[in-house]
Structure 1
């Protein structure tokens, strides 16, 4: 995922947490905030409680892969994805299903509606 698609600065994370809305299911929490860019930006948070560095990095790689795979259906928003306990045990398909579910709840992901072509 290119740097322009990432939320990296602490200031940006804090703004999303403070001013944004949150949505959750059993495996993920998503905070979202409107941005004024042509595409979405995302930040990832995976706690040390979920496992060692290898496990946490695998979770982040899988989340990034889902976001890249479905990026044309994502609205131009800033959002942070927080992985909850149990994510480390999911298969890729289960992770994808759960992540897309919470992104639909947050109205970030719109299946069948190509958001990239609107800009």
Structure 2
């Protein structure tokens, strides 16, 4: 994932939290905010220490980035997305993380297609 596609600064996170809309399931909370004139989307990841130790938190972030990378053609550009991982995410494998994230993306209408096409 390219650096331009990441939200890093605290004030950018706060802006998305305050102005964006949120959708959640048991594993993730997704905040999304429309950014006019942007050709791509950006993501910010937040995984609290309550979720697990550093190795677990980094694994979750890596899985989330992979899901976004593999589904990049289906995700609406021109948005900032902030994903907050909840405690149950620590126990999940890649396919569970993917289906859970696609579920919250569908709920925010951030996906072009309803089902993932396997080509």
- Show the counterpart of 1:8: 8
2:58 aligned partner:
57
Tell me whether 1:111 sits opposite 2:119 in the alignment: no
Q: Which residue of 2 aligns with 1:101?
A: 103
Q: What is the total number of aligned residue pairs between the two structures?
A: 113
TM-score by length of 2: 0.90
Structure 1 or 2: more helix by fraction? 1
Verify the 8 A CA contact 2:106 2:114 in the aligned structure 1.
Answer: no
Report how far residue 91 of structure 1 moved: 1.3
Deviation, structure 1 residue 11: 1.6
Moved over 6 A (4+): none
What is the root-mean-square deviation of aligned Cα atoms in Å? 1.3
Q: Which moved more, 1:4-13 or 1:96-105?
A: 4-13
Match of 1:18 in 2: 18
Matched, 1:34 2:41: no
